[in-house]
Amino acid sequence: MSLALQEAWKFQGYTLPNPAVGAVVLDKNGVLQGVGAHKKAGTPHGEVHAIKNAFLRLNSDLALNEELKTKEDSEDIHNFLKAHAKDLFQDGTIFVTLEPCNHVGQTPACSDLIASLGFKKVVIACKDPNKTASGGIEYLRSQG
């Protein structure tokens, strides 16, 4: 979690009116595979950056990796990962500094992406006080 917090601090003030959220992805063996943070309002959240970075490390299909590298829009990245990640994140862990968002705004819900990819464990530093964005914890629990 310390690494996720350090990453988030790098972008404090750049994501207003949203918080800068950091995330770290570990594989099923506990090996660090991806780190990311929300960098600017309206762009992919920290979870998306961390998962994208982990995909690029874990996936051996170079053509898919090159395709993912070209994607910057959050919805495009979400859709790509859901279509191509297969079981890369199954039994993995994601650490997030703030409860994953559970609504669709300028970006899709991070809680849905995390649940879709089969993470076994989600470690959250704090619950989101924003009533619009919160609910990710409950959603993830309902998805197992």
Q: Model's pTM, two decimal places?
A: 0.96
The per-residue pLDDT for 90 is 94
The per-residue pLDDT for 65 is 98
CA atoms within 13 A on the CB side of 79: 8
The reply to whether 67 belongs to the active site is no
Distance from C-alpha of 75 to C-alpha of 106, rounded to nearest angstrom = 9
The per-residue pLDDT for 72 is 96
Burial class (CB in 10 A: 0-12, 13-18, 19+), 112: buried
Catalytic residue among 7, 47, 66, 67: 47
Rounded to 5 degrees, φ, ψ at 138 are -60, -40
The per-residue pLDDT for 126 is 96
Sign of CA dihedral 16, 140, 24, 59: negative
pLDDT under 70 in the chain at which residues? Answer: none
The per-residue pLDDT for 15 is 92
The per-residue pLDDT for 7 is 97
